[in-house]
Each structure stands twice: as structure tokens, then as C-alpha cells.
Chain A
Amino acid sequence: MGKTAVEKIFSNKSGIDAYAGDYVISTLDYIMINDITGPIAIDAFNSIGKKPVKDKIVIIPDHFVPPKDINSAIQYKKVKDFALNNGIDNFFDLGQGGVCHQVMMEKGFAAPGRLIAGADSHTNTYGALSSISVGIGSTEAGVIFATGKMWFKVPETIKININGKLNKGVEGKDVALHVLSKTGHDGATYKCMEFSGSSIDDLEINERMTIANMTTEAGAKCSFFNTDDRTINYLKNRVRGDYNIVSSDDDAVYESTINIDAEEIEPSVAIPNSPANVSPLSAVNVEIDQAYIGSCTNGRIEDIRKAAEILKNHTVNRKVRLMVVPASQEVYNQALSEGLIDIIVQAGGYFSGTTCGACLGGYMGVLGPNEVCISSTNRNFIGRMGDKTSKVYLANPKVVAASAILGRIGSPEEI
């Protein structure tokens, strides 16, 4: 019987001929923690009393870094001390790292055929680079520190075929939202979402990362994209060590298949309070107080380029604060050298150092009562970015930039 890519990777990493539904103990390539999930993982690890599997551990403080208050400073210090005291080389401090998932990809941890766990729900993102990467709890992360292994149930796979030429103005984000409108917020619970088809082949890696990132919002355990020239190109000069290209067999068994015609995908907006509550952009007319470009979903250099292109020679609407927060230090440096920061600042936008910050309503851009934000992030749950009466609309970074100029949610075509 043929296997899906995820069945193959769990088989390789467990040494068992595994299929969906089987329980396996697998060796991880990497285990990632951040400043929020890390402290509990470290406590769990310490209570086991074993030596850490140093080379597999990656520590990336991002949620409240630089620390916003004393409690976050304590959490940050805890993961930092752990890294330094245990000689963990893969520790990315402020100024070298960024949002954990972006760092995992750009620093070459994510690569084809790898199995990676992260104590953060959007670990799904590395499926864009043909890894199987899953979000887990903190206690489990602490156990992996000690053993390098974890038990898993091999997931079934939903195949998503998208074919045809994407419409003008449609980005990875719109594809992700369209898929969510089909699956709903729990339609892929437990499952791997595997993407294929000519539209996917045409997408650059950064767009695939956005799609992979948002599979979390459908409840998926992981995502998977096939390795192609674009993948190999991205990995060049980044990837650490060897990797092993894997793909699903022709006779693999899928849980279900969703076929999408590229023509049906429009520029879209997720309406509060669910990322799966999707509307065509053209049907949304809402005044905004904040426009936010950043996060592991859409805070990459390509996203900032797109925003700068729209903002060039324009001014941010005086009712709106525009915040642009690069997803990593590398993205920041690139934006600086390309002169993008200059363009955004000239337009009246605020450009900051990298952090998760406002994406989770943490700090730096928290919404007040009844404020409305258009955001390039991945979640618009009640109170996600601030007060419980505030509202978050999700869209692609071009739409966010255009809306910042218009003062309401609108299309780049209007600029």
C-alpha cells in the first residue's frame, strides 16, 4: 500500500512501517521553544534529571522580547539562562533572531523530510519546506529535551489540489483564507494538509509559508508541500546538514481530497471572530484604527516589499496608525538595505524591531475598546489583539497597506 509523505516521514523517524492511525515513538530533528512556552518546558526537563540533547534544542524568545514588563523579563531570563548554562548553541537572542517560526526556516532548521516539534501552535509552518512540523505542549517539549524523542499518532492526510492561474491581487494569504472557508475552523483536526496542483507550484516559498502557517486555523496537526526548485533555492546557503526529499506515493490513501479551481479564489478578508469566517474583499467596507503588517504569517521581506510598493509616495490616513513589524532580524536588515524602511516611515508608518508583540495582543499595538484593526496575522478571535470589544480583520499585506492609506478596508486597486 502506498504512503503519504507524512506516513513516510514518521516511518523514517520511528523505524516502523507506519500508517495513519498508528502510534509511533519518533526521533525529532529539532525541538523549538520560545519565551512563553519555554519556562514550563525547562521545569519539566529539570524534573526528569537527564542531560539535554543539546544539538536538537532551539531556543527563540519572541513573544514578549524585548521584555515588556518584569514578568516577561523573568520568563525571558529563564530561557536565556537555560541556553547559556547548558551550552545550547541554537539560541537566538534579541538582535539575532525574531519570530520563532521565521527563524526556524531562515536559519536552515526546517528542511525536506525532517520531523520538528515546537512548543507553539503555528509550528505547522515548516510544511512549506517539506518538513513535518507539529505544535506540542510544554511538558512534552521538556521531555524531548531529555530524550530527543516523542510519541505521535500518525495523522491522516487531506489533499488540497489547487489548479489554474491565480487571479490578479490574489496572494498566499487569500489562498489560505479560501481553503479555511472550505474546511472551517476544525475541518482538519488531527490531520495533515497536503497542498498540490499547478497554482501551488507557481507560488513562491514565502506564499507557501503563509498557507502552511494558517493550516493551524483549520485544526491541522501539520502541513506538507512538495519539494521543488523553489524549495531547493530557498534552502541554498541556509540549510544545516543533509536532508531527504520525500513525497506521497501515487497510490497513497488520503482521508479526503479538496479540489479548488484557482479562478474561484478572490482577494479575501477574514471577518471577526474566526479566520474561517471569510468574505470577498469587495464586500467589506469597514473603517479602521490600526493597520498591522507582521508576524509569522506575513512579516517576511516579500510582504514588506509589497507594502512599501503601495505606500511609496502616499501618506497613511490620519485616523490610522500603521505598524510594520518584520518577522526577523534578517528581514529587518534586508528591509533596511533595500530602503524599504525609509519608504514606510516617509509615508507616516511606524517601523519597529522584530517581535510577536501585537499579534497576540501582547504589547506594542494593543487595541483599545471598539478599535478595529486590519492585520496580516493569522488569528482574529475575540480579544486576540486587545480589548474584547476590539475587532481584527485578516488580509494580505497589500490590502493592509492600501487600507492604511484609505482609512478603511479597501483594495490596492484603489490607490
Chain B
Amino acid sequence: MLSEIKGKVWVLGDDVDTDAIIPAKYLVTSDPEELSKHFMEYNDPELAKKIGKGDIIVAGKNFGSGSSREHAVITIKGLGVSCIIAENFARIFFRNAINLGMPLIEAKIGVKNGDRITINFNESKIYYMDKFQEFKKYPDFLKNIINEGGLINYVRDNQW
């Protein structure tokens, strides 16, 4: 059960679009590991190597805008990222992420690269430095979809 995530953060800006997340030329595969090597490579070719398993992405407004490609979420999952926090998400990215079992949080927190934060899903709070920030709770069924690793697993095992 998704209750707590602790990890190191990587801070990105506003309007990170799906072309920046994974350039279209790599869409010939849907292998998470292969895709993840090219995460944001036009912005920072080293970034994909620096991000480790369990790390957390913290972004600004309109994260994941652009095309509806599910590859954008698969790329980030391939990096082993445990959660994405953004002020808000583009609509289809948001749906794809939940449907593929990636936890998302809409919140604004002041952190910098390398800071360690703790997300408590039961309390709906992000703890960082000596502060905390509340976020809007997911309804249970969305939490369940994420816990089951995505929508397909969820509907296979559950009755809606």
C-alpha cells in the first residue's frame, strides 16, 4: 500500500513537454530502460545518468504537455522515479501516469536538486527541510490503481 515515499529530488521547470521528456525519434521502442536513457537529453544529456532509483521529480506548471504519447510516462518509470510532484500536470500525461501506476502529486514546494523529502500519503503531506506542504488526497480508487501498478492490472483484479 502506497503510504510513504522518501527520496532525493530533481528539480525541473515549467512546461516540460513530452518532446523534451522523450524526443519523438526514440518512439520506435516502448522498452522502459531503453527510453529512460534519453530522458530530457536535449536539456541535459547527463541527467538520465544522475537520476537514481527512488528519486523524485519536482516540476513547475503544466508538466507533460504536448502529445498524448504514453512513452513519456514509460520513460520516467524506466528511470525508477518513485513520484512526480508538479504544480499541475497536462491532462493526458496525468491520465497516462495514473493508468500506468506512477504516483503524481499536485503541489508547489521550494526545494533544490539533491534535497531529501518525505511524502506521507496517509497524511497527504510532503515534508521537506523543516517545513511541510499539504496536497489534495486522491480518492481511494485512484490510490488503488497506482498500488496495483496501473489500470490494466486493476480492472483485471477488481470490479468497477
The contact of A136 among B95, B98, B138, B141, by CB within 8 Å, is B95
A137 near B92 with CB under 8 A, answer yes
Number of residue pairs spanning A and B whose beta carbons lie under 8 angstroms apart: 55
What residue in chain A is nearest B138 (Cβ atoms)?
A23
Known contacts A23-B138, A137-B92, A139-B99: A189-B160 contact under CB 8 Å? no
The contact of A137 among B62, B95, B141, by CB within 8 Å, is B95
A23 near B152 with CB under 8 A, answer no
Among listed A98-106, A142-150, A311-319, interface-contacting one: A142-150
Specify which chain A residues have a CB less than 8 angstroms from the CB of B94 in the assembled complex: 153
B152 near A143 with CB under 8 A, answer yes
Among listed A42-50, A81-89, A253-261, A339-347, interface-contacting one: A42-50
Known contacts A140-B99, A189-B91: A48-B62 contact under CB 8 Å? no
What residue in chain B is nearest A152 (Cβ atoms)?
B95
Specify which chain B residues have a CB less than 8 angstroms from the CB of A50 in the assembled complex: 155-156
Known contacts A121-B68, A149-B160, A189-B91: A137-B96 contact under CB 8 Å? yes
A87 and B98 CA atoms in complex are apart in Å by 31
B65 near A186 with CB under 8 A, answer yes
Q: Confirm or deny: B139 has a beta carbon within 8 angstroms of a beta carbon on chain A.
A: yes
Q: Confirm or deny: A221 has a beta carbon within 8 angstroms of a beta carbon on chain B.
A: yes
Contact pattern, B 99-110, Cβ under 8 Å of A = 1, otherwise 0: 100000000000
A221 and B94 CA atoms in complex are apart in Å by 13
Question: In chain A between 1 and 60, which residues have their CB closer than 8 angstroms to a CB of chain B?
Answer: 21, 23, 25, 44, 47-50
- Smallest CB separation, A43 vs chain B (Å): 10
Q: Confirm or deny: A351 has a beta carbon within 8 angstroms of a beta carbon on chain B.
A: no
A136 and B91 CA atoms in complex are apart in Å by 10
The contact of A139 among B65, B70, B136, B139, by CB within 8 Å, is B70
The contact of A140 among B91, B95, B142, by CB within 8 Å, is B95
Q: Confirm or deny: A92 has a beta carbon within 8 angstroms of a beta carbon on chain B.
A: no
Q: Confirm or deny: A234 has a beta carbon within 8 angstroms of a beta carbon on chain B.
A: no
A143 near B155 with CB under 8 A, answer yes
B residues near A (Cβ < 8 Å) are 62, 65, 68, 70, 90-92, 94-96, 98-99, 136, 138-139, 141-142, 145, 151-152, 155-156, 160
Known: A25-B141, A140-B95; 6 extra A-B contacts, CB below 8 A, are A143-B99, A143-B152, A143-B155, A149-B160, A151-B142, A186-B62
